Amino acid sequence: SLEKNRTSSTVTVFFEGAVRRKTLALVFVFILQVPVLYYLYTTEFETLYYTIDKQNIPDKPAEAGEEAILPDCPETPPDLQGNIDVSFAHTAPEISKLEADNPLVKDGGHYKPPYCKALCKVAIVIPYRDREEHLRYFLEYMHPTLQRQQLDYAIYVVNQAGTGKFNRAKLMNVGYAESIKDHDFQCFAFHDVDLVLENDKSIYSCPSSPRHLSAGVDKFNYQLPYSAIFGGVTELTKEQFQKVNGYSNSFWGWGGEDDDMFNRVKFSGMNIIRYPMDISRYKMITHQREKGNEPNPKRFDQIRRTKDTMANDGLNTLEYKVVSKQKNKLYTNVTVDIMAPA
Ligand SMILES: *[C@@H]1O[C@H](CO)[C@@H](O)[C@H](O)[C@H]1NC(C)=O
């Protein structure tokens, strides 16, 4: 029995020594892994990525840091599909449905590709008044398209307050001025709300020269009505837009402001460019011309004088009052008093 006691105490002593400490340390390390492994296996990689992504986004300096670690997006976005089946036969989806369909769009209709650094930061500026269903069709089709184009973009709806004469061009100037207060946009797509792109290869990237995007519209059989047309959807870089002094602020009612802009581009020594007609394709949402947007009888006279007026009518003379600026999920609503004549 003495022999037996000695053996057991040897075993005890052995386990109370260095081996026990090592065993305990090993068990401890194994236990620590459990929550880590559990986290990794239950969290989708994407969500994990977002957590990291988000931590870097909150303010501008962090944004720059976050971009530095992302690779540039490819010159040709990989998810483009070409033709898009656009139809306005159905009732436009509710905003809540559109928000659910575009979870990565937020903070005033802003999106940036999560896995690469966009080649271009674009503000989509929509002159607007009382076209609520058109806007929902627009958001339905354009948000997914612009995301496939891998742009860093945001949508600005510039809503003219009141019932005075409509001024599309001045609203676009306001959209430009208000958007650059929010982000360092490099270019601006000025966009009628009733035009929806039908081919995503027509990329809204920053153009080398002012670009006319809506060359082909179904209403005109996808043909250019005239070669100098520069309405519907156009895109200019910040430098190009400043060079032409923006749009005129003086076109009240329908028509002429787009031809005046064509003249501004021409008199500033630039040419307009377009994509090939097989991808410059838009479907127009049909509507009646609304009250306050009757043809402007002075437009012909005004576009004859662009050369003399452009230096003193545009961004450098823009005056307006912001009534409200709301950052909705899918668009920023800038409601503005542009001092319209009755
Ligand atoms: C924009 O905001 C104004 C003012 O709050 C509101 O009356 C209008 O309905 C809004 N428009 C859109 C399209 O959200």
For the chain, which residues make up each domain, given as ranges?
Answer: 2-42, 76-337
pLDDT of residue 147: 98
Ligand 1 atom 14 nearest Cα:
333
Which one, of 109, 149, 147, 141, lies nearest residue 125 by Cα?
109
Residue matched to tokens 């909150």: 58
d(Cα 233, Cα 156) in Å, to the nearest integer? 14
Q: CA 340: distance to chain centroid?
A: 28
- CB of 334 within 6 A of ligand 1: the answer is no
Beta-ladder partners of 327: 332
Which one, of 193, 174, 237, lies nearest residue 211 by Cα?
237
Ligand 1 atom 1 nearest Cα:
333
Three-state secondary-structure class, residue 325: strand
Q: Contact 236/227 with Cβ under 8 angstroms?
A: no
Q: CA 76: distance to chain centroid?
A: 18
- CB of 263 within 6 A of ligand 1: the answer is no
Q: Contact 159/128 with Cβ under 8 angstroms?
A: yes
CATH code that applies to domain 76-337 = 3.90.550.10
- CB of 333 within 6 A of ligand 1: the answer is yes
pLDDT averages per 10-residue partition of the chain, 342 residues:
51 64 80 69 47 42 60 96 97 98 98 96 98 97 98 98 96 98 98 98 98 97 96 98 98 95 98 98 87 90 93 98 98 97 80
Q: Give the pair of three-digit tokens for residue 54.
A: 């988000």
